[in-house]
Amino acid sequence: MKSLKEKIKNKQFKVVVIGAGYVGLPLACEFAFAKFKTVCLDVDREKVDKINKGRSYIKDVLSADLKRVVENKMLKGSTNFSFIKKADAVVICVPTPLSKTRDPDISYIIDAVEQITKNIKAGQIIVLESTTYPGTTEEVVLPMLESSKLKVGKDFYLAFSPERVDPGNETYQTKNIPKIMGGITKQCTEMAKSLYQEIIDIVIPVSNARTAEMVKIWENTFRAVNIGLANEMAMICDKMGVDVWEVIEGAKTKPFGFLPFYPGPGLGGHCLPVDPLYLSWKAKLLDTNIRFIDLADEINNEMPSYVVAKVNDVLNEHKKCINKARILIMGVAYKRDIEDVRESPAFTIIERLMDKGAIVSFYDPYVPKLKLKNGKELKTVLLTQLAKYDCCLIVTDHTCFDFKKIVKESKLVLDTRNATKGMKSKKIVKL
Which residues are identified as catalytic? Answer: 271
SS3 labels along 104-126: ECCHHHHHHHHHHHHHCCCCCEE
Nearest Cα neighbor of 416 from 305, 266, 291 is: 266
Could you give the 3-state DSSP secondary structure of residue 238? helix
Cα(429)–Cα(326) distance, rounded to whole angstroms?
A: 17
Please, are residues 224 and 297 in contact by the beta-carbon 8 Å criterion? Answer: yes
Nearest Cα neighbor of 36 from 17, 57, 61 is: 17
- Could you write out the DSSP letters of every residue in 55-69? ---STTS-HHHHHHH
- Could you write out the DSSP letters of every residue in 184-236? SSHHHHHHHHHHHTTT-S-EEE-S-HHHHHHHHHHHHHHHHHHHHHHHHHHHH
Cα(139)–Cα(146) distance, rounded to whole angstroms?
A: 11
| Alpha carbon distances (Å) from 12 to 17, 34, 158, 324, 399 | 16, 11, 20, 64, 44
Please, are residues 407 and 420 in contact by the beta-carbon 8 Å criterion? Answer: yes
Please, are residues 234 and 246 in contact by the beta-carbon 8 Å criterion? Answer: no
Cα(217)–Cα(180) distance, rounded to whole angstroms?
A: 12
| Alpha carbon distances (Å) from 320 to 33, 165, 348, 357, 389 | 57, 43, 22, 13, 12
**HSE value, Cβ hemisphere, 13 Å, CA-based, for 422:** 2
Angle, CA of 344, 346 and 349, to the nearest 5°: 130
Cα(283)–Cα(289) distance, rounded to whole angstroms?
A: 6
Nearest Cα neighbor of 310 from 264, 372, 272 is: 264
